[in-house]
Structure 1
Amino acid sequence: MANFEAGPVPRDALAYFRDKDLRVGFDFQDVWGREHAHAFTVAKAMKLDILDDVRAGLDEALAEGKTFRDFSRELKPKLQEKGWWGIKEELDPNTGERRQVQLGSPRRLKTIYQSNLRSARSAGQWQRIQRTKETQPYLLYELGPSENHREQHVAWAGTLLPVDHPWWRDHMTPNGYGCKCRVRQVSEVEAERMEREGIQDPLAEIETDPETGLPTGRRQRRTIPVRREPPPTRTVSFTNRRTGEITQVDQGLHPAWATNPGQDRVRVLRDRMTGKLDTVDQRLAQATTRDVMDSPILADWVRQPDGELPAGIIERRAQTALRADTQVVRLAPGRLPDPDSLAVEDYRQLPDVINRGILIAQDDGGLVIFRSREGDTGNPWWMATVQRSGDDQRLYLTDYRVATDEDLEQVRLRGQVIRASEQP
């Protein structure tokens, strides 16, 4: 389970924190939800040097296991020296108004320390969960050591679901500011035992020593059943007052924490890796794309599409036909008309389809690619369609399906053949 006490955070957790870019913001809602996976911000810290001081202090605290007291004692004088302390008048860049706002304070530093520590540990724990889910395929939601618990979190205690269940997409702990709830990874055998015998009631009364009359620190033996289905969702609407964006979250989740830091980090790393493929030569980019599509990353994406993956690398002539500056064809949620009709193994063929297939440019600016497939005489071709996005000029896979010889001939007649035969 994630440890919220002082002590150096694991390597995965530290990497999550260090991967973030600095982002100034006047309000804590200026950087929201999943954006925290790639952006480090402190509300009202409108200068990068202030943000840099706070991040450097947190980095040292996480890496060396410093307590909040040590973190605060070292950072407070630096912020005071730069004038970022107490209540002051500041300009809100969104409204143009000057407002009296709280800058640095002991309470704010504590929130900054705890929030970053817990989200980093959660992200690190998720990476370890993914590495060990073959032998420990379930997660158990547990209450933490807080004296007072949120009502919904109490209701979620004892929820036992597979690691890859969608419920963990936004219920991975922590679930709010100050939340100390946690998840514990369990094996198949342990899950079966829990289902038979139940688990310790986290709210059972503390035992009293019969001789001394003093509390022992142990809870009375009382069990509750585990829940093998996700708890009922009670959706509430939340409006971000800075952006106007309306989101739906399960009641009991603070909207700012309705994320899974570990999953969000994987998405950010995938997106960054996909973008960096434009900076390397085609041979290396093609090899990297094949490695990604042959890895468990693809299966995870197909099961729960989130972020972008590199589907293939197109050659220079195809780039020219598409009027594109990028060589990367991206696989993104919502771009394919019928993604559920495709199996993981079908997606694995994409690098070869895109890199080696017959290329035919279309009048609408798209590119259709045909690559032969084995074992189906009625539909002997893979057919992939690539389009350039008008928003960001990226290339996206917009259709991918099996095709007939007639499909190939019709596309040939309507378009301009760029590469007439398949590459070996």
Structure 2
Amino acid sequence: MAVSHGSLPFQEQIDYFRGKVNLPTRSWTDAYTAEHDYAFVVAGAVKRDLLADLRGAVEKSIASGTTLEQFRKDFDQVVGKHGWQYQGERGWRTNVIWETNLRQSYNAGREAQMADPELRKRRPYGIYRHGDSAHPRPMHLSWNGVTLPLDDPWWLTHTPQNGWGCKCKKFMASARDIERQGLTVSPAPAIEWEDRVIGKNSPNGPRTVRVPHGIDPGFEYAPGQSRLANYVPQLRTRELIPAPSSAAAPPMGLPNRQPSGPLPAPRALPAKRLLPAKVTTSKAVDQFLGEFVASDAPTVFRDVTGDALVIGRGMFSDAKTGAIVLAPSIKARELPLLVEAIKAPDEIWARLEWEPGQGKAVLRRRYLAHVQVKGKTDPAVAVFDHGDDGWTGFTGFVDDSEQYLEALRLGVLLYRRTD
């Protein structure tokens, strides 16, 4: 399989792959089309450490040119280390992970090369070439030799790879190249669109996507093009957690999809779960840390998905003064609600958020809790938003709590309370 740039490392391919952020997913449909330009995913890999090790094995193949068999040995070590119970037969699963990541990163690297203005002046055309598949797809075979300007919209949906295991390629060409090969620049083939249902077994539920006939769902995009256009799709500067009054405007990010089902009904909590009304911030933080056995030193807490969170006093320390502080959106007496969100969430979501100041996407996990405190009219809401660049949160009693939480249920659903 030709997925390396000759015998030398293909730097554009390596740069593309390294520019991704690890995104936990339950299903292959959780990250779709151009979202793969920003997210590295392995369906069913939810734990960060597991995903990081799988990524390392793939990157080793991309940067060093290791074979599928070598990748399978690395894969077996990662699976054994983490005890991962993955879906599918080993040979099939490893082939899908390895081939799709190597081939699409290679294609994205080629797109980066083709974007060079001087090169495009000399070679302004693209030629579609069918691969050497043992069982060729009729539509892919019919596109063999299609020759179009590189800026023709047809390439936005038909740039290879165009399906699982597809080995088709796109080549640059000059007018002389086209003449020498006996080809002709002609109008793009007509696109026949069709609706396909995907994600029937996904925690986020099934949805209908529109794809060109002959292309597998999820492949109807040009790998790497969303980066090259100096545009990050669906990623916006925003407040991490909007105030309840702004819940009608969902925060942006990637993926930007909501679940098909409602949030579990609020669970009951006794009134004593709240702290006294006049509790000090220091005492509230002490109790919070005590519930995680982190009063004296930071500790590693495993959430309901098995992922690790480091809990410690530094979560509440002002970076400049070292004083114990809370975020303005968290009340001291309601800090136990944040404990509920972390220890017993109703849902956990994962999303990539674009940070202009950092010039990159950051993975965040969002823990949501919806509870009914005895004696209170309105339900209480607790949100814990955690990423590599820190955390933020919200606690409060909200009369339109369901509407508020609905605006925060975006991304990849990693966990949902069922009882």
Q: Deviations over 1:84-141 (max 9, x none)?
A: 145xxxxxxxxxxxxxxx1672321111000000110000001111111110000110
Does the CA contact (< 8 Å) of 1:85 and 1:103 recur in 2?
Answer: no
> What secondary structure does 1:133 align onto?
helix
Give the deviation of 1:82 after TM superposition: 1.6
Aligned match of 2:3: 4
RMSD: 3.0
Q: Deviations over 1:298-351 (max 9, x none)?
A: xxxxxxxxxxxxxxxxxxxxxxxxxxxx999xxxxxxxxxxxxxxxxxxxxxxx
Partner Cα separation in structure 2 for residue 255 and residue 327 of structure 1: 31
Give the one of 90, 96, 100 matched to 1:111.
Answer: 96
Partner Cα separation in structure 1 for residue 356 and residue 12 of structure 2: 31
Please say if 1:159 is aligned against 2:158: no
Amino acid at match of 1:37: D
Give the deviation of 1:74 after TM superposition: 2.1
Does the CA contact (< 8 Å) of 1:79 and 1:104 recur in 2?
Answer: no
Q: Go from structure 1 to structure 2 and tell me whether the alpha carbon gap of 1:158 and 1:227 turns closer, same or farther (over 3 Å shift).
A: farther
Aligned match of 1:240: 198
TM-score, structure 2 as length reference: 0.52
Q: Which structure's CA Rg is the greater one?
A: 1
Aligned match of 1:14: 14
Structure possessing the higher relative contact order (Cα contacts under 8 Å, 6 or more residues apart):
2
Does the CA contact (< 8 Å) of 2:54 and 2:78 recur in 1?
Answer: no
Amino acid at match of 1:160: T
Please say if 1:231 is aligned against 2:192: no
How do 1:24-423 residues align onto structure 2 when only pairs under 5 Å count?
Answer: 24-85=24-85, 102=87, 105-131=90-116, 132-194=119-181, 197-198=182-183, 226=184, 228-241=186-199, 242=204, 244-267=206-229, 270-271=231-232
Amino acid at match of 1:4: V
Q: Go from structure 1 to structure 2 and tell me whether the alpha carbon gap of 1:25 and 1:275 turns closer, same or farther (over 3 Å shift).
A: closer
Q: Flag structure 1 segments of 5+ consecutive residues without an equivalent.
A: 87-101, 199-225, 277-325, 329-390, 393-424
Does the CA contact (< 8 Å) of 2:24 and 2:45 recur in 1?
Answer: yes
Partner Cα separation in structure 1 for residue 58 and residue 8 of structure 2: 11
Aligned match of 1:307: none
Q: Deviations over 1:378-403 (max 9, x none)?
A: xxxxxxxxxxxxx99xxxxxxxxxxx
Does the CA contact (< 8 Å) of 1:125 and 1:262 recur in 2?
Answer: no
Q: Go from structure 1 to structure 2 and tell me whether the alpha carbon gap of 1:61 and 1:23 turns closer, same or farther (over 3 Å shift).
A: same
Give the deviation of 1:265 after TM superposition: 2.8
Does the CA contact (< 8 Å) of 1:7 and 1:62 recur in 2?
Answer: no
> What secondary structure does 2:170 align onto?
strand
Q: Deviations over 1:177-229 (max 9, x none)?
A: 110011111102222444xx34xxxxxxxxxxxxxxxxxxxxxxxxxxx4611
Give the deviation of 1:8 after TM superposition: 5.1
Partner Cα separation in structure 2 for residue 77 and residue 148 of structure 1: 33
Amino acid at match of 1:109: T
Give the deviation of 1:234 after TM superposition: 1.7
Give the deviation of 1:165 after TM superposition: 0.7
Return the structure number with greater helix share: 1
> What secondary structure does 2:151 align onto?
coil
Q: Go from structure 1 to structure 2 and tell me whether the alpha carbon gap of 1:3 and 1:137 turns closer, same or farther (over 3 Å shift).
A: farther
State the number of aligned residues: 236
Partner Cα separation in structure 2 for residue 7 and residue 128 of structure 1: 18
Q: More deviation in 48-57 or 183-192? A: 183-192
Does the CA contact (< 8 Å) of 1:24 and 1:51 recur in 2?
Answer: yes
Does the CA contact (< 8 Å) of 1:85 and 1:104 recur in 2?
Answer: no
Partner Cα separation in structure 1 for residue 85 and residue 197 of structure 2: 29
Give the share of equivalent positions with the same residue, in percent: 27
Partner Cα separation in structure 2 for residue 48 and residue 185 of structure 1: 39
Does the CA contact (< 8 Å) of 1:7 and 1:64 recur in 2?
Answer: no
Does the CA contact (< 8 Å) of 1:236 and 1:249 recur in 2?
Answer: yes
Does the CA contact (< 8 Å) of 2:131 and 2:168 recur in 1?
Answer: yes
TM-score, structure 1 as length reference: 0.51
Partner Cα separation in structure 1 for residue 193 and residue 88 of structure 2: 33
Give the deviation of 1:246 after TM superposition: 2.9
Give the deviation of 1:247 after TM superposition: 2.5
